[in-house]
Structure 1
């Protein structure tokens, strides 16, 4: 879990707007004052409660930088980042404590966020059920498959019930079959809980399957180059697996892939 930290143009708590996440005129620069490198420039975007927004684009376009700004891990050099509610973060690698059990990893997160001791065991079982790992709390993390470890990481991010979930290419290191299963499960989980999600990926297919809206970024410096709405069925009862073979899905995937190629040409 990672709380958004108020500092240098970043605020945490209720804002005047309706968006869970709002970036206005955001810029990020690295390097020295004499030779600065602009990583992100003049990015403005908002994410409404319950939205599943996906950031796609070529390497180096600032996708992860924007996610880190929302998480509070970095501070903007210009502009404002507003986060209305607490966030959880899922990284590319699970980053679990190998000396703890599955339940121990979740208990650590629950304790850190002030969940009473008496309530932790029930909350652990609830979280494991959400990610399809019921009954596995006593397993050691090194006994799990890569996909199972990533499920534990998702459960840990959800431990304190964050309304906003940030996911930085969480399935990139998984095999194709496991990746597809987790994509479907995360989409169903988000739709069922109403969690607001900001998700980073390089994949047009993953972006269309997961997102209710796709933002395409260009590099040099990083900026929003385009947006694609994804009007595919959502909500409980949606057959996520069946969407992959539907004609509207294929058309949207081609549209996003084309937008990524155009953004890469701008870089």
Structure 2
């Protein structure tokens, strides 16, 4: 069996999980001096779950996302991804010579949307991320937060059922980051999209995740999983949730676990 295993269309309706990593190991370096970056990681993400990966730098969080996206192959173990994937990176990576609409139209074309339908689909995507009417704007005219919204819309152009997000708000100011956190939380609730999200922030992890997976480095491995029993409906008042005592307790507990992971 190859390290990465794809499932056939007939299998997609049977399992409840969208992502299964089993006994994953990743090695870099040379054959004479290999470095094990990830060792024996197993992780299942159920359909519609919002799973957040936290842990110190170098623990393999982004590596796991790359494996799920198909950008990289494991040295050992198997990766099963049962539905279509979209990826949002830390930087927007937009084409600066194209308009906002041009960036989305390019993505739509890549995913087989015919020319006559692209304008309407572009407006639908922009509306979904709160940028209605901005298709003609140049990307360099946008704020950092607006550019990241366009990047999210571009990832959604493929109509993915699984969204991979690699610290997408890390470079944003605090206020913009909070707004986008709320929007992504609502977006996931409305669409039912399965999300695998990487962050270093305990607060962001508790706010967004239905479950938080804690990793440690040297080599990268899973050392804990923390369920987040907070309301996840699209109508949830996120501002009120941030001030809830239960939220504060979970954030403090997760921050302590993450600090411990840095020395594990």
Fold-level similarity (TM above 0.5): yes
1:262: which partner in 2? 260
In structure 2, what is the Cα distance between the partners aligned to 1:144 and 1:13? 41
Once the 2 structures are TM-superposed, how far is the Cα of residue 13 of structure 1 from its aligned partner? Answer: 4.5
CA deviations 1:53-111 (Å, max 9, x no partner) are 00000111000000000001110000000000110000000000000000000000000
Q: Cα RMSD (Å) of the superposition?
A: 1.3
Pick closer, same or farther for the CA change 1:57–1:245 going to 2, 3 Å: same
In structure 1, distance between residues paired with 2:239 and 2:103: 30
Deviation at 1:34, TM superposition (A): 0.6
C-alpha contact 1:188 1:240 (8 A) present in aligned 2: no
Report whether the alignment pairs 1:11 with 2:6. yes
Separation in 1 of the partners of 2:18 and 2:78? 14
| Cα distance in structure 2, aligned partners of 1:12 and 1:38 | 27
The answer for the alignment partner of 1:212 in structure 2 is: 210
Counterparts in 2 of 1:181-260, with a 5 A limit?
181-260=179-258
Does the alignment pair 1:56 with 2:51? Answer: no
116, 120, 132: which is aligned to 1:122?
120
Shift of 1:48: 0.7
Partner of 1:46: 44
Q: 2:7, 2:154 → 1: CA distance?
A: 21
Match of 1:22 in 2: 20
Report the TM-score when normalising by structure 2: 0.96
Contact 1:9–1:78 (8 Å) recurs in 2: no
Q: Say if 1:155 and 1:13 are closer, same or farther in 2 by CA, change over 3 A.
A: farther
Structure 2 unaligned regions, length at least 5: none
- Say if 1:163 and 1:196, in contact at 8 Å, map to a contact too: yes
Counterpart of 1:160 in 2: which secondary structure? coil
Structure 1, unaligned stretches of length 5 or more? 1-5
Q: Helix, strand or coil for the counterpart of 1:265?
A: coil
Report if the CA contact (8 A) 2:26-2:75 is conserved. Answer: yes
Contact 2:128 2:153 in 1 (8 A): yes
1:10, 1:72 within 8 Å by CA — same for their partners in 2? no
Counterparts of 2:3 and 2:77, CA distance in 1: 9
Between the aligned partners of 1:9 and 1:152, the Cα distance in structure 2 is 30
Name 2:150's counterpart in structure 1.
152
Matches within 5 A, 1:99-118: 99-118=97-116
Distance 2:5 2:184 in 1: 28
Contact 1:7/1:75 (8 A) holds in 2: no
Match of 1:132 in 2: 130
Runs of at least 4 residues off by over 6 Å:
none
